[in-house]
Homo-oligomer: A and B are copies of this chain.
Amino acid sequence: MTATKGIENHTLKIMSEVAEAVLPAQYAEDFACLAGPSFAREVFLRHPTAVTIACRRESRAVQLQRLFYTEFFRVYFTTDLIGVQLCGAIKNVIAIAAGTADALNFGHNARAALITRGLSEMTKLGLSMGAQARTFAGLAGMGDLVLTCTGDLSRNRSVGLKIGQGMTLQEITAGMKMVAEGVKTAQSAYELSRQTQVEMPIVDQVYEILYHGKDPREAVRDLMTRELKREA
C-alpha cells in the first residue's frame, strides 16, 4: 500500500511533483510518503508489518518515523522520495503481469521471474530519474511488489487474472467501481520508458495487452525469446 500511487497520464508527474506544482514552495521539502507491504486489514489486526517513510528533509523523515512506529508497525526511513513513489506506481503494472501469468497457470517459476525482472525494470527507470537502487530493493519496492503479486487482495492482480481468462480491458473496467491504478500507470510507464530511453520489456507487454489487445501468450513468448543478456 502506498499513499501516493500514481503517475499522471499526460504530464507524467508523480504525486510529489504535482504537490510541488500546486502547493507553496515551503511545503515541498516536507512532502512525505509512507510505503511498503501493508495490507490495511493486517495492520488493523496488529500483525507484524514493516514500512518505510520517505521525505527529502531527513529530520522530518526521522520525526515521522518515530510518530508512526509501534511495536507491531516497524518504520524505516529514507530521503529517496522519488524512488518510493515510482515503486508504488509501477509495481501495479507488474502485478497485472503476474495476475495474467497466474490465470494462464504458468506457475511459481514464471511469477518469481516476472517479479524479479519487473523490479529490474523499475530500478533502471528509477536510476534514470534520480532515484536510488536500494529503494527498489527495499520495502516500498521489492516488499510491496511481492505483496501485490502474491497476495490475494490486490486489485491490480485481479485485473491481470481477468486478462488471463480472456476478458478485454473494456469488459473488465465496465465491472469496476474504481479503475485499478496499474491500468493507467501502464500507459504512463510506457511513455516514461520512451522518454528516458530505458528498456522496460514487461511494461511494454502489459501496455500492448491492455491497450492493443495483444494475446498474453504471445507476450510471454516475446519476453522469453528476447536477445540473451547479462543479468544486471
The minimal Cβ–Cβ distance linking A111 to chain B, given in whole angstroms, is: 8
Among candidates B37, B78, B101, residue contacting A112 with C-beta atoms closer than 8 Å: B37
A161 within 8 Å of B by Cβ?
no
Closest chain B residue to A148 by CB distance?
Answer: B112
Please determine whether B139 and A119 come into contact, CB atoms closer than 8 angstroms: no
Taken together as a complex, chains A and B put the C-alpha atoms of A115 and B150 apart, in Å, by 12
Inside 8 A of A106's CB, which chain B residues have their CB? 47-48
Closest chain B residue to A143 by CB distance?
Answer: B116
| Copies of the polypeptide in the assembly | 2
* Chain A count of residues within 8 A CB distance of the other chain: 63
Stretch at the interface among A9-17, A169-177, A205-213, A221-229: A221-229
Please determine whether A112 and B221 come into contact, CB atoms closer than 8 angstroms: no
Closest chain B residue to A109 by CB distance?
Answer: B49
Over the window 188-232 of chain A, the binary record of Cβ atoms lying under 8 Å from chain B Cβ atoms (1 yes, 0 no) is 000000000000000000000000000000001101110011111
Give 28 A-B contacts (CB < 8 Å), ordered by A residue.
A36-B113, A42-B108, A43-B109, A47-B105, A47-B107, A50-B113, A50-B117, A65-B228, A71-B221, A74-B224, A75-B228, A77-B231, A108-B151, A108-B153, A109-B147, A112-B143, A115-B143, A116-B138, A116-B142, A117-B139, A119-B137, A119-B142, A120-B137, A123-B137, A133-B137, A138-B231, A139-B231, A146-B150
Give 6 closest A-B pairs by Cβ, nearest first.
A37-B112, A76-B231, A50-B113, A116-B143, A49-B109, A47-B107
